[in-house]
Amino acid sequence: MTAVAKELKTKEITISMGPQHPATHGVLRVVLELDGETVVKCTPYVGYLHRGVEKLSENRTYLSALPLTDRLDYISSMSNNVGYCVAVERLFGIEPPERAKYIRTIMCEMTRISSHIIGLTTHMLDIGAMTPFLYGFRDRERLIDLFEMTCGARLTVSYARIGGVRNDVSQEFLDKLYEFTEEFPKIIQEQYETLIDENRIWLQRTKGIGIISAEDAINWGLTGPTLRGSGVPYDVRKYAPYDAYPYVEFDVPIGKNGDVYDRYKCRMEELKQSNRIIKQCIEKMPRGPIMAPDAPKFTLPPKDKVLTDMESLIHQFVLITKGPIAAPVGEIYAATEVPKGELGFYIVSDGSGRPYRMRLRAPSFVHVSVLPKLCEDALVADVIANIGTIDIVLGECDR
Amino acid sequence: MMEPKEIAGLIKDRYPTEVKDITEFRGQVSVVIKKDRLKEIMKYLFSTPELYFDYLEDLCGVDYAGKKDNRFEVVYHLYSMRHRHMIRIKAEVPEDDCNIDSVTDIWAGANWHERECFDMFGIRFNGHPDLRRILMPEDWEGYPLRKDYPLKADLGEMEWKGYKETIEIAERNKIYEIR
């Protein structure tokens, strides 16, 4: 404290940031105790968007709980779908066919790109860069169009199914996607990296801000790019591969210092790696069925079959009136790497057609909890940078 | 890297009276323990070099009302970044003694998970630095994820008190609405 400030008789004030604030990326309320411009204490409050998804899923069948997962992290709904399906498949012991695995991997990586674009560009907007934000939404639009082409929905897709995917992708889709992957590295280079990477304002606002060491990051349970920015190469896709990840080559980008800039850089590199994975998947994708042979036991048959095939009609009728088959008794924890980090589903089955307990380990929830640590002794403006860098979606945080 | 069965065996050897049961399902092993010496066991898992569970993946509660003798279970999913192995620890919490030791001083990340578990199940964590409700309003009554909490019902007396207040404020503010 300077001499002038001492004479001026200052006192700490408490201000409330949010629940509605453009920089909080949703309904997050952060109560800041300030000494001048320095944050003394930071307390995040969540729960404004709590919808009881866990409780709801426990009263629904395995299949009808799937659309709820879309609404969690609504800008990367496909990853949530896949995460849930992977968990339920492990519980039932179902192996989806190769083609479905590749399609899912493509979708997951497309989601990662679109989610990272939003995460990065809104973060840039918070710090004051408007142009990449506009560019980002334009690029994301192309991916969203591709989602729409496959499953008819743009945001809440509900595309993955237990034991496969809902419908096959068209050749037109693959062609357009390939075209996108060819252009995308140039887009990253031209529109984001040249604008941001060595931008003086960006460097000053991000370098050395919100530092978290590797040990702390692990101890706090951080995952995803937020953890990898601190230099820990933990990635569920590498450590416990699911779907088509064992068949493709990619690197896990890591940072060094664990500050906001390194996390930004990590996400930027991940865009390129995702692009690489999509390209490989399109090239390697085999032909064949998209649903596991034993999955239809509890998944509704496709609509066109219901209208033409008697057996499918009976099957659908039985599923709707009687409910699906019983699950094996046991419990499973399955983790997948969604754009934000590790999404874990812990499902306890008591042998009925509904999950007895479904627990969601949401990465955003864990990431918000580390906010007080990041904001210790930072300036108010750095709080904005820190909220952006942990890349949260409050729908997932509150569930 | 160690097989989960091996890790469960190690815990069983060291704490033979504490471990109640070891089950395996689809390659994942759960160790059911009594809650009294939970912190000691967790410290052992965290600090032993060949185990080194440095990352608490998840912590949650499960309500087994009417299904098991002890109503609640607190489930810990532990993972080791160095050795890449995982184990599931389940600590039993009876309804009439609804508290368990907090593990926040071993894994800082347990803080919010424990708060959520308290919020949803009413399990108290001894030694937690800041045990408040997290997802529900602070004056909420009842614990939503318990099995006897209704999913959809006329709550009557159980209704949240703040609800009426909020509606009243909204009614009062109607005069400011732009028509």
Summarised one tens digit per residue, pLDDT across range A296-347 is 566 777 778 788 888 888 888 887 776 666 778 888 888 888 888 888 899 9
| Residues of chain B positioned with their CB less than 8 A from the CB of A252 | none
Is residue B87 less than 8 Å (CB to CB) from chain A? no
Q: A13-398: CATH homologous superfamily?
A: Cytochrome-c3 Hydrogenase, chain B (1.10.645.10)
Comparing CB atoms, the residue among A47, A59, A356 nearest residue B151 is A59
Percent of the residues in chain B that have a pLDDT greater than 90, as a whole number: 0
Contact state of A361 with B57 under an 8 Å Cβ cutoff:
yes
| Residues of chain A positioned with their CB less than 8 A from the CB of B58 | 333, 344, 346, 359, 361
Neighbours of A238 (CB within 10 A): 14
Which of B128, B135, B136, B148 best tests the A interface by mutation, with the highest count of A CBs <10 A? B135
pLDDT of A105 over the 70 cut:
yes
Is residue A371 within 8 A of residue A5, CB to CB? The reply is no
What would the pLDDT profile of A347-357 be if each residue is shown by its tens digit? 988 877 788 88
| pTM of the full structure | 0.86
Interface of B with A in 96-115 (CB under 8 A): 107-113
What spatial distance separates the first Cα and last Cα of chain A, rounded to whole Å?
42
| Residues of chain A positioned with their CB less than 8 A from the CB of B116 | 365
Q: Supply the pLDDT for residue B98.
A: 86
Give the residue extent of every domain in chain A: 13-398
Q: Tell me which residue of B51, B43, B65, B54 sits closest to B8, measured CA to CA.
A: B51
Is residue B82 less than 8 Å (CB to CB) from chain A? no
**Which CATH number does B4-176 carry?**
3.30.460.80
CA angle A17, A23, A27 (to 5 degrees): 65
Q: Supply the pLDDT for residue A212.
A: 87
What would the pLDDT profile of A2-49 be if each residue is shown by its tens digit? 666 667 767 778 888 878 777 777 788 888 888 878 888 888 888 888
Contact state of A331 with B25 under an 8 Å Cβ cutoff:
yes
| Residues of chain B positioned with their CB less than 8 A from the CB of A54 | 120, 145
Contact state of A331 with B151 under an 8 Å Cβ cutoff:
no
**What average pLDDT score do residues B68-97 get?**
86
d(CA B142, CA A363): 26
| Residues of chain A positioned with their CB less than 8 A from the CB of B129 | none
Q: Supply the pLDDT for residue B154.
A: 67
d(CA A333, CA A77): 20
DSSP state of A343: E
Tell me, rounded to whole angstroms, the distance of Cα B178 from its chain centroid. Answer: 47
d(CA B64, CA B56): 23
Q: Supply the pLDDT for residue A3.
A: 63
Contact state of B26 with A222 under an 8 Å Cβ cutoff:
no
Contact state of B67 with A350 under an 8 Å Cβ cutoff:
yes
What would the pLDDT profile of A234-290 be if each residue is shown by its tens digit? 888 888 888 888 888 888 888 888 888 888 888 888 889 999 899 888 888 888 888
Which of A358, A369, A374 best tests the B interface by mutation, with the highest count of B CBs <10 A? A369
Give the residue extent of every domain in chain B: 4-176
| Burial environment of residue A15 by CB neighbours within 10 A (0 to 12, 13 to 18, 19 or more) | exposed
d(CA A310, CA A101): 29
Strands B86-93 and A355-361: unpaired
Which stretch of DSSP H or E encloses residue B88?
strand B86-93
Q: Supply the pLDDT for residue A323.
A: 64
pLDDT of A1 over the 60 cut:
no
* Model confidence band, residue B38 (pLDDT cutoffs 50, 70, 90): confident
pLDDT of B59 over the 80 cut:
yes
Q: Supply the pLDDT for residue A397.
A: 85
Contact state of A346 with B60 under an 8 Å Cβ cutoff:
yes
Contact state of B81 with A218 under an 8 Å Cβ cutoff:
yes
Q: Supply the pLDDT for residue B156.
A: 65
Q: Supply the pLDDT for residue A4.
A: 63
The CA-based dihedral angle spanning residues B146, B152, B153, B157, taken in that order and rounded to the nearest 10 degrees: 60
Q: Supply the pLDDT for residue A192.
A: 81
Q: Tell me which residue of A123, A223, A79, A41 sits closest to B56, measured CA to CA.
A: A223
Tell me, rounded to whole angstroms, the distance of Cα B27 from its chain centroid. Answer: 23
Q: Give chain A's mean pLDDT.
A: 85
Contact state of B109 with A59 under an 8 Å Cβ cutoff:
no
d(CA B44, CA B58): 18
Percent of the residues in chain A that have a pLDDT greater than 90, as a whole number: 0
Percent of the residues in chain B that have a pLDDT greater than 70, as a whole number: 94
Is residue B144 less than 8 Å (CB to CB) from chain A? yes
Contact state of B135 with A398 under an 8 Å Cβ cutoff:
yes
**A369 to chain B, minimum CA–CA distance in Å?**
6
Comparing CB atoms, the residue among A220, A330, A359 nearest residue B60 is A359
Q: Supply the pLDDT for residue A188.
A: 87
Phi, psi (deg, nearest 5) at residue B125 = -110, 115
* Selected residue with higher pLDDT from B141 and B22: B22
Q: Supply the pLDDT for residue B53.
A: 87
Contact state of A333 with B77 under an 8 Å Cβ cutoff:
yes
Is residue B43 less than 8 Å (CB to CB) from chain A? no
What would the pLDDT profile of A106-124 be if each residue is shown by its tens digit? 988 989 999 999 888 888 8
**A222 to chain B, minimum CA–CA distance in Å?**
8
d(CA A230, CA A249): 23
**What average pLDDT score do residues A67-93 get?**
87
Is residue B62 less than 8 Å (CB to CB) from chain A? yes
Comparing CB atoms, the residue among B58, B109, B136 nearest residue A219 is B109
